[in-house]
């Protein structure tokens, strides 16, 4: 029996649901609010800072004069040294201790102990930077601190002695680690859980112990996560401001108002009324962050397929 004329010579195709005609529309809807906020609070302020960095107070092009003025300030080079030393302490502690603690946590069973530790690790990260500094102001005062006996044993009898400028880089790194490391431990723990169990089982069958498994199996698979953590931590570390500023206010200037580069930009803009030089320092921090991120991404093969 021949097919009806209306359908003879035409292939039958399954009907396509109307809602599936534009599968990417929902994705664009989710991304759109982020793009709007990124432009409003990221791209536009950055462009505004670049404009100020290369112009003078009258709005005329100033070349690199604002950058030269910032570098010539007697506080600039010490602030660079302070931030660099802080970054060394902060990044080394972050990479070593976060990875080690995440590996130890992964070795534990998924019972109450593991869940409790994950919660305890994450709690400090739930505090805002200012709130965490207030906690540490209490801890670092030998007169009221619950660990005051340890501070006095180290020869520090007053709050001013504890937060002397020579101690600040280490103290701020400890505060940063206490505040931010817990969230990264949870991230690394999740990354470790994504490693196929077959790989770990094969390592155990081959006679690898916990150390060998971590070194030859888990750490190589964590490499991109570690690079991602270092990039974000470096960018955040160069923006150091809240912690030293609050310590300076609490100590009536003992800690110094120009310890970090961001404190220096704040002083340029709001104490010296020199927004252009402040913008120049901000642009320098942006360029350094982008260059370091680019180097890490290029040398680590961050976007290479595994």
- Residue 274: what pLDDT? 92
pTM: 0.82
pLDDT tens digits for range 143-160: 888 888 888 888 888 888
Is 60 exceeded by the pLDDT of residue 37?
yes
| For residues 195-206, average pLDDT | 87
Non-local (6+) Cβ contacts of 260 within 8 A are 79, 82, 83, 86, 240, 241, 244
- Residue 55: what pLDDT? 94
Q: What is the mean pLDDT of the chain?
A: 84
Is 50 exceeded by the pLDDT of residue 7?
no
- Residue 127: what pLDDT? 63
Confidence at 74, pLDDT banded by 50, 70, 90: very high
CB 107 within 8 A of CB 210: yes
Sequence ranges of the domains in the chain: 27-63, 75-300
Three-class SS of 270-287? HCCCCHHHHHHHHHHHHH
Nearest alpha carbon to residue 233 among 306, 283, 166, 183: 183
Is 60 exceeded by the pLDDT of residue 184?
yes
CB 280 within 8 A of CB 53: yes
- Residue 64: what pLDDT? 93
- The rounded distance, in Å, linking the Cα atoms of 257 and 268 is 11
Tokens describing residue 228: 């991602």
Nearest alpha carbon to residue 269 among 254, 258, 255: 258
- Residue 70: what pLDDT? 93
Question: By three-state DSSP, how is residue 302 classified?
Answer: coil
Q: Determine the topology of domain 75-300 in CATH.
A: MetI-like fold (1.10.3720)
Is 70 exceeded by the pLDDT of residue 174?
yes
- The rounded distance, in Å, linking the Cα atoms of 293 and 280 is 20
Tokens describing residue 211: 């150390």
Q: Which of 32-36, 136-140, 302-306 has the lowest mean pLDDT?
A: 302-306
Stronger pLDDT, 299 or 86, i.e. the higher one: 86
| For residues 114-143, average pLDDT | 74
- Residue 1: what pLDDT? 46
| For residues 226-238, average pLDDT | 92
Is 90 exceeded by the pLDDT of residue 266?
yes
- The rounded distance, in Å, linking the Cα atoms of 154 and 164 is 13
Is 80 exceeded by the pLDDT of residue 111?
no
């Amino acid at each position: 029996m021949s097919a009806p004329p209306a359908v003879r010579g035409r292939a039958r195709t399954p009907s396509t649901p109307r809602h599936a005609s534009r599968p990417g529309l929902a994705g664009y809807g989710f991304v759109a609010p982020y793009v709007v906020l990124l432009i409003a609070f990221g791209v536009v302020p950055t462009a505004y800072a670049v404009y100020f960095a290369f112009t003078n107070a009258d709005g005329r092009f100033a070349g690199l004069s604002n950058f030269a003025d910032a570098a010539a300030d007697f506080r600039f080079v010490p602030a660079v040294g302070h931030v660099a030393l802080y970054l060394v302490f902060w990044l080394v502690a972050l990479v070593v201790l976060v990875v080690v603690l995440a590996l130890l946590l992964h070795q534990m069973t998924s019972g109450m102990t593991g869940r409790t530790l994950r919660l305890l690790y994450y709690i400090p990260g739930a505090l805002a930077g200012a709130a965490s500094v207030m906690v540490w102001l209490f801890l670092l005062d030998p007169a009221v601190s619950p660990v005051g006996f340890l501070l006095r044993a180290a020869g520090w009898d007053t709050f001013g002695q504890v937060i002397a400028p020579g101690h600040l880089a280490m103290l701020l790194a400890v505060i940063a680690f206490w505040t931010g490391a817990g969230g990264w431990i949870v991230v690394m723990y999740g990354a470790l859980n994504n490693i196929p169990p077959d790989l770990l089982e094969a390592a155990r069958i081959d006679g690898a112990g916990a150390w060998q498994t971590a070194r030859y199996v888990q750490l190589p698979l964590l490499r991109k996560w570690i690079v991602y953590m270092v990039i974000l931590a470096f960018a955040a570390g160069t923006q150091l401001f809240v912690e030293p500023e609050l310590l300076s206010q609490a100590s009536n200037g003992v800690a110094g108002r120009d310890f970090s580069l961001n404190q220096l930009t704040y002083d340029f803009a709001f104490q010296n009324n020199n927004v252009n030089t402040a913008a120049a320092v901000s642009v320098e921090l942006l360029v350094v962050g982008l260059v370091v991120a680019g180097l890490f991404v290029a040398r680590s093969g961050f976007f290479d397929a595994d």
